[in-house]
Amino acid sequence: MAKFKRILVTTDFSDAGNKAVDDAFELAADMGAHVALLTVLERDPRTARCFIDYTPMESEDHINKAKDQAREKLLALVPDALKSKVSHEVVPFVADSPWKGILEAVKNFGADLLVISDHGMSALEKLVLGSTADRVLRSVDIPVLLIKD
């Protein structure tokens, strides 16, 4: 297996997303890699699927408040046993959609491995809606570790 140095892990704060965080930190500890822990905040709260008080992302103050809340939630996910062993940073990222934000973050961070979860969508849901993981997998040019729900 290749030795990765910069691991980007994404979460939407679901159980599956949070498991991806744990797995990424364990892998980073084994490889001596740096981890960037990412969540993507969608600009439009009507399409946002997760959290952050559903504050409209219409002003710089709202964006900064949402990023601060996300930063705290991301830091809380870092496994206690690995906090001091794994070099890490948290990256709340604002984008029009999660998959676009993930692709941009991969480039900005210079990741050589992406860890992402795949939620248990039915085949019909994936066909109709698509999934963030599917879109990222079709577009990213680095290795991806897909954590199944």
pLDDT digits (tens, 9 = 90+) for 27-77: 999 999 999 999 999 876 554 445 455 555 557 788 888 899 999 999 999
Q: Just give the CATH number of 6-148.
A: 3.40.50.620
Least confident of 85-89, 93-97, 99-103, 129-133: 129-133
Q: Edge-to-edge, what's the strand order for the sheet holding 88-95?
A: 88-95, 34-42, 6-10, 113-118, 144-148
Gyration radius from the chain CA atoms: 15
Q: How confident is the model at residue 127 (pLDDT cuts 50, 70, 90)?
A: low
Separation between Cα atoms, residue 62 and residue 30, nearest integer Å: 38
The structure's pTM equals 0.83
